[in-house]
Amino acid sequence: MDRPVYGDTDPVAAFATPLGISALAVIRTSGGESVALLSRVFSRPEKLLAARGNTVVHGWITACSGGGGSPAEKIDEVLVSVYRGPASYTGEDGADISCHGGIAAAKGVMAALKAAGFREALPGEFSFRAFMNGKIDLTRCESVMEIVSAKTSLGREHAARRLSGSLEREIRRINALLVETLAAAELCLDYSEDEAGAARADGGAAADGAEGALPGRRFAEDALERLRGLAASYRRERLYAEGALVVIAGRPNAGKSSVFNLLLREDRSIVTDVPGTTRDWIEDWVSLEGIPVRLADTAGLRDSEDPVEKLGISRSRELLGEADLVLYLVDGSAGITGEDRDFLGSAQKPLIPLWNKADIALPPPGSRLLAVSAKTGEGFGKLAEAAAAALEKAAGETAPEAGRLSAGIGTARQKELVDAALASLEEALALADRGEPLDLAAPALREAVNALGEITGEVATADILEVMFSRFCVGK
């Protein structure tokens, strides 16, 4: 049997929901003759064949019709949502089958579809077909998987902006500016200076004689600022999507485990009055102001002869070296010790110093320590805000002009191509500033346009597309 490939129009089917015990399961189908094929294993074939797009038909999925006039075996009672191309997600005819959520029921429906002539969809094949049929660009395709993997509502919100087209629109705006510049440059290369000047006076791209050696320079400089804004957005966008490591540190009995449990809103770490209770670090995920945080509770930092505790302290110090942010606790009942001062004075990571047990004693006047109480919850709202602000600052401030941009780049592929476009544009401007011939700057501008085209998929090869979509979930 030939191996299925991306780019054909075979009728395909895939589970759109995980196999498991649930109220419903959804199986997605798409492709040429998909509705007709589905009608072969549907109890009301005429009704299904006559269904218009965006309508729902009730019936049963059955086994292929039995011989001798015997009734076909009923497999499951379903609702079929019918979609007609080109007004569908993939641009093709297709249907989503909502069946009962048991594993046996869902597998039975899938087996019936295969018997009818469907093949299993490749990973990301539905989105691939949507892209190939001009329904969505590559940035929207990638945002589909960003939404699936979002850890917090803020991460989902940012991915949803890209899915709605914010990044695509911004890339096309920048591309239009570069095309204006490139058109002006090529006009000057194709005609004599007098002819090009006359053409520009008649409505060409660059009629401003003060723009120097690069015609349309004002368009290029606008594109440059926008590209810098997009490039600067990547670290912050990845923060919302992938999260950060926040490590709680401090001396034994400072209340680290209590703070960990309170931020996590569950009793995850063991809490006792005995110093050194936590022998090794423990971690879990939590959302701080919408930022996904991998929060780690560590062993108390002190000199110890206990071999098990020493190993835990050593591991805690290694984790501190990986942290994106450290929450260092000072025991308010004991005050600031020399060990506390040594740690706070030598910290190499972004750090928020906390004065725990503020219900017993307040921090010294003028202190920069944030007062919290793991017992009463005092100060934890301010702690979450401070931690989120510190993580955003560490992720990098956006470029001055980036505030006007509603878009941000969400994947490493997009970042590499934005960087490539930015480098090519900077090269073109540098060549112009040095008074180099225009025929040296024009190819750099063209490279920038091509890099932006790769982001949206206007410039792409079959191999690149296959590698990209093969990383998607099956059913997407």
Q: Are strands 244-250 and 24-30 parallel, antiparallel or unpaired?
A: unpaired
**Environment class of 368 (CB within 10 Å of its CB; exposed 0-12, middle 13-18, buried 19+):** exposed
DSSP string, 273-307: SSTT---S-EEEEEEETTEEEEEEE----S----H
Residue type, 451: A
Do both 271 and 255 map to the same domain?
A: yes
DSSP code of 398? P
CATH number at residue 315: 3.40.50.300
Do both 225 and 330 map to the same domain?
A: no
More reliable by pLDDT, 466 or 426? 426
Overall domain count for the chain: 3
Do both 258 and 181 map to the same domain?
A: no
Number of neighbours of residue 196 by Cβ within 10 angstroms: 20
**Environment class of 144 (CB within 10 Å of its CB; exposed 0-12, middle 13-18, buried 19+):** buried
Whether 128 is covered by a domain: the verdict is: yes
pLDDT, tens digit, for every residue of 264-322? 887 654 444 444 444 456 889 999 999 999 999 887 665 555 555 556 666 777 888 89
DSSP string, 451-464: HHHHHHTSS--HHH
Do both 181 and 209 map to the same domain?
A: yes
Do both 348 and 423 map to the same domain?
A: no
pLDDT, tens digit, for every residue of 214-267? 888 999 999 999 999 999 999 999 999 999 999 998 888 888 888 998 898 876
Do both 251 and 372 map to the same domain?
A: yes
CATH number at residue 124: 3.30.1360.120
Do both 260 and 207 map to the same domain?
A: no
Whether 259 is covered by a domain: the verdict is: yes
Residue type, 140: R
More reliable by pLDDT, 105 or 399? 105
Residue-range definition of the domain harbouring residue 419:
166-239+407-457
Structure tokens, 41: 């294993």
Do both 269 and 234 map to the same domain?
A: no
